Structure 1
Amino acid sequence: MFKECSDIVIRPFDIEENVHALAVFVDGLVLTTEVDEALKAVMIYERGSEDAKRLLETVIPSGQAKTTDNYGDFLLGVLSGDTGIIIENSDKAILLGLRGPSLRSVSEPPSEAVIRGPREGFIENLRTNTSLVRRKIKSPRLKMKPFVIGKHSNTSVVLSYMEGITDPALVEEAVKRLQKIEIDGILDSGYIEELIQDSAFSPFPQIQHTERPDLVAAALLEGRIAIFVDGTPFVLLAPTVFVQLLQATEDYYERFQIGTLVRWLRYFFLFASLVTPAMYVALTTYHHVLIPTKLLFSIAAARESIPFPAIVETLIMEVIFEALREAGVRLPKAIGSAVGILGALVIGQAAVEAGIVSAPVVIVVSITGIASFTIPHFNGAIAVRMLRFPLLILASIFGVYGIFFGLILIIGHMANLRSFGVPYLTPISPLKLSDLKDVLIRAPQWALSTRPSFLHVRDDTRMSDTMSKEIKDQNGSKGDSPDDKR
């Protein structure tokens, strides 16, 4: 079976010279020093040498060791990094969990940096990732349900949830969808995200992904589920509603006034990123009377020598900006940011001086690009970037009416979306007043005493209000003040 597999080590050995045995492991996936120590302990064992279970209980020092009588489970364990031991005249094999360390250390996730908050992020090792969450939620109610998905990759997947909090129907549905996946291999969590989401043709993400353990812990405590995939630092969270794409973990680490202000800015710039280029094209093409006179004269003077209509020059700059952004991501970090900034400045200035595009278009596209960066989750920002172009086309044909028509279509589509059965616009539509305290505003922590009702959790109480009532009743001090005692 392992012919022409140079990384597979098959090591025959004897137990006290009378029982033949075989050790099998993958070079590079195991700790060879610990494997040597375990084999040394097995070799000198005398009594009942052929009994795998007794060897496991009395000799082998590994804490993560088990026996199996299934050949498929044995192969899967070896290919996953375990060390397999087969003993002559024994109907059971031993699997030693002596896996090597992860290749990358835990560090701050580059895609979700924060000013205040933990500086740790997930890595490509599944057990390291689950341990990071277990370190934050030290409760036996935190469940980790294992799966193996992929006909050839045999990728380890873990479904995590909080027993007693998460809706059992949600867990059952997630298990059902994961078990129905039949594919050659899973190389990233994006495979699973696309296979289990409710609507594959929607530009809006119905499953959130993150590299932050604190965000996963917070989602689990809310009553959501998390899906860990071995080999990727991105963990999936479901169900996901639209407002959660505009919430960042840092909102809950700062004072609620700051969190609310930043959240308002995100909503404003989300709308600006979506409609600003389309509004510019609509106003300059059809609705000149809506532009102030001085501003209209300035725009007309800037566009006097431009050979293209407003829609063409806007599309040119939008496509160039998206290309520069993509190039900045793909290039090495040392030069990526420099290429993005210099490219935008040089190309924009040269295009204006050459008379290809006007200066107002460069300003509009720049504002649009900056506004899109305020969306904290990357997959949410991609949806806005994609929908910007259809709105541009509608604005060039129907003016402002086309923009409103496009917005109606977008909102109607979002209202029809579901994420594991939860309406995508919840808690705005359908309206749930108790959940609005964490949508447009970020209420104080003492006001967030209940979990989101749209998740149908089994325990909706998040915290007690005893302390906040006591502080309020005593006017901020406990007991009598020194002046009152006098």
Structure 2
Amino acid sequence: MRTFRRIRKNIKLKNQEKPSRSKELSVALQITGDFDYDIQIIRSTFEKSKDVIIREFKIGQENKLNAAIIYTDGLADSNMIQHFILDPLMNEPFDEVLANHTLESNNILRWFEKSKLTIGDIKEIPDFHELNNAVLTGNTVIIIDGNKMAISASTLGWEDRGVTEPASQTVVRGPREGFSENFRTNTALIRRKINDANLLCEQKKIGKVTKTNVAVMYIKGIVTDSIVEEVHRRLDRIDIDGILESGYIEELIQDETYTPFPTIYNTERPDVVAGCLLEGRVAIVVDGTPFVLIVPSLFIQSFQVAEDYYQRADIATLLRILRITCFLIALIGPSFYIAVTTYHQEMLPTPLLISLAAQREGVPFPAFVEAIMMEVTFEILREAGIRMPRAVGQAVSIVGALVLGQAAVEAGIVSASMVIVVSITAIANFVFPAYNMAISVRMLRFGMMGLAASFGLYGITLGLLALLLHLNSLRSFGIPYMSPFGPFILEDQRDTLLRFPHWKMLSRPRLINQNNLKRQKH
């Protein structure tokens, strides 16, 4: 028994002598300047992280001064570390400097900063908390014996996907570049579009564990200051352990209203972000995702694409009207068919009514049940096509729809006219440029079908009125969601349903921008 107690006591003493990893990660202990002690703390912190490299060496050809570099393998560029850090520190003579060096000062550290380290971004680090963050974000930290500060050198060098064409927002005419998962690449793509010193990029870290980089970008002098303040206020109140994609940020900062409609816009295209910034909006760039958030977002924005501004005004106007028409078809197409065939047959021409009656002969279900079955079947096929491997996903969704539709008609489960209506509705749903708006319509469609089955055209009218009232009650960062229709702003109608020529769009949206309204001279 005494032997067991003695062993447990020895283990306890050893644990007390060894720095605790959790303690070092949570408490911002200052760097002491005692090289052996500082390295011991760093080694205990990253004891089980084999991808964190701690390389000790002697400075100069005379080997008089202890030093070490700490970096994460895979996040830092090993070639930069070798050529711009290790070679200058290990292979050059420092007789005079080392002779004048005293352990109580940081003079030698600053001398290395100014004279020998040729890396662009260098930052002094006073404590182990900042040191850990620097190492885990791809920087290389340099510790020199006798110095109570460390140096963080920017050596980011991980592999990324590169700049490719965005998959979710393709265009016939326009730039083919899209955002990637690399945070700095994304901010650089936006700066490449807007070469102005007033384009500000304010950066912060969100997530207690992931410490994800988030940038707020806007153009000073164009954006309304209250919108920027509101964005920062909502971002600062986020208290969560991790941010893995911009969808986390979107859900945490959106206006607290229960609605299926997106009140924050997202895009993969730098030209779309640049256009929104020039209108006075704010962009939120999140590290690790190609989707950039834009606030405030308006309802009409979901039906506008970048290509509208690269085509002639008449073509862009025609396509916008087509998208709004498809929105109505996707929302009330099956509902209108259910209402007319169930309650309002007198609205149909007699030959068409006879044809529909002949098709429905032998169908055991009412029109509402037919529509529900076909819509659910199509949603299953659509989801299966998305989740399956790309090579077979499209083939399964197309062939499945054709085979099931034809088999259902021949088996007498549904009518051929219902298959046509559901197919047109599904195709119209694909016309929407904004994917999250298309999902909203898909959800609302089932509610409209229920109202049509219960009350006919009166139910559809009631549903549309309720939907219109709901849309007018929404706000996005203080801006009415249905602007410039409600409130109605005549000047802003030049870029809503219609797209006037560029030489006629003289001003920016009035509710979004209150500082610098003029785009160009008359």
Report the TM-score range of the alignment, normalised by the length of the smaller protein: over 0.9
Q: How far is the alpha carbon of 1:200 from its aligned partner?
A: 4.8
What do residues 156-209 of structure 1 show as CA deviations (whole Å, max 9, x unaligned)? 000000011101111111011111100010000000000000035210000000
1:328 corresponding residue in structure 2:
385
Give the alignment's TM-score, normalised by structure 2. 0.87
**More off after superposition, 169-178 vs 92-101:** 92-101
User: Deviation of residue 279 (structure 1)?
Assistant: 0.8
CA contact (8 A) 2:222 2:513 kept: no
Native 8 Å contact 2:279 2:513 kept in 1: no
Aligned twin of 2:275:
218
Which residue of structure 2 aligns with residue 483 of structure 1?
none
Cα distance in 1 between the residues matched to 2:514 and 2:127? 39
Supply the AA of the counterpart residue of 1:263.
Answer: R
Q: In structure 2, what is the equivalent of residue 358 of structure 1?
A: 415
The equivalent of 1:61 in structure 2 is 118
Q: TM-score, normalised by structure 1?
A: 0.94
Using a 3 Å threshold, how does the CA distance of structure 1 residues 291 and 257 change in structure 2: closer, same or farther?
same
Question: Which ranges of structure 1 fall in alignment gaps of 5 or more residues?
Answer: 466-486
- 1:39 corresponds in structure 2 to 86
Deviations 1:283-327 (A, max 9, x none): 111111112211111111111111111111101110111111111
| Equivalent position of 2:318 in the other structure | 261
Tell me if structure 2 keeps the 8 A contact 1:178–1:196.
Answer: yes
Contact residue 102 and residue 124 of structure 1 kept, 8 A = no
In the other structure, the counterpart of 1:8 is 52
* Counterpart code for 1:41: P
In structure 1, distance between residues paired with 2:364 and 2:256:
42
* Alignment partner of 1:293 is 2:340: no
The alpha-carbon distance between structure 1 residues 290 and 69, as it changes in their structure 2 partners (threshold 3 A), is same
Unaligned runs of 5+ in 2: 1-44
The whole-number CA distance in structure 2 between the counterparts of 1:283 and 1:238 is 41
- Number of equivalent positions: 465
Tell me the secondary structure at the aligned position of residue 254 of structure 1.
coil
Task: State how far apart, in whole Å, the 2-side matches of 1:312 and 1:410 are.
Answer: 24
When the two chains are superposed, the root-mean-square deviation of aligned CA atoms in Å is 1.2
Report if the CA contact (8 A) 2:181-2:289 is conserved: yes
**Structure 2 counterpart of 1:417, which letter?**
L
Q: Does 1:273 align with 2:330?
A: yes
> Structure 2 vs 1, CA of residues 73 and 367 (structure 1 numbering), >3 Å: closer, same or farther?
same
Give how far 1:397 is off.
1.0
Structure 1 residue 3, shift from structure 2 partner: 2.0
Letter in structure 1 aligned against 2:73: D
* 1:307 lines up with 2:364 in the alignment: yes
SS in 1 for 2:58: strand
Q: In the aligned structure 1, how far is the partner of 2:50 from the partner of 2:449?
A: 56
Whether the 8 Å CA contact 1:21–1:85 is kept in 2: the answer is yes
Measure, in 1, the Cα distance between the counterparts of 2:299 and 2:446.
20
Question: CA offsets, 1:424-477, max 9 Å, x none?
Answer: 100000111110111110000001111100113311111122xxxxxxxxxxxx
Residues 251-295 of structure 1, C-alpha deviations (whole Å, 9 max, x = no match) = 000000000000110111111110000111111111111122111
Distance 1:79 1:27 in 2: 10
- 1:427 and 2:497 equivalent? no
1:404 is matched with: 461
Q: For residues 377 and 53 of structure 1, what CA distance do their matches in structure 2 show?
A: 52
Of stretches 226-235 and 18-27 in structure 1, the one that deviates more from structure 2 is 18-27
Q: How many angstroms does 1:101 deviate by?
A: 4.4
Contact 2:74 2:158 in 1 (8 A): no
Measured after TM superposition, the shift of residue 85 of structure 1 is 1.1
Checking the alignment, whether the CA contact within 8 Å between 1:194 and 1:200 is kept in structure 2 is no
CA contact (8 A) 1:53 1:67 kept: no
CA distance in 2, matches of 1:364, 1:281: 10
Partner of 1:129: 186
The equivalent of 2:72 in structure 1 is 26
Bigger Cα Rg? 2
Give 1:213's aligned amino acid. Answer: P
Residue 18 of structure 1, CA deviation = 2.0
Residues 56, 66 of structure 1: 8 Å contact kept: no
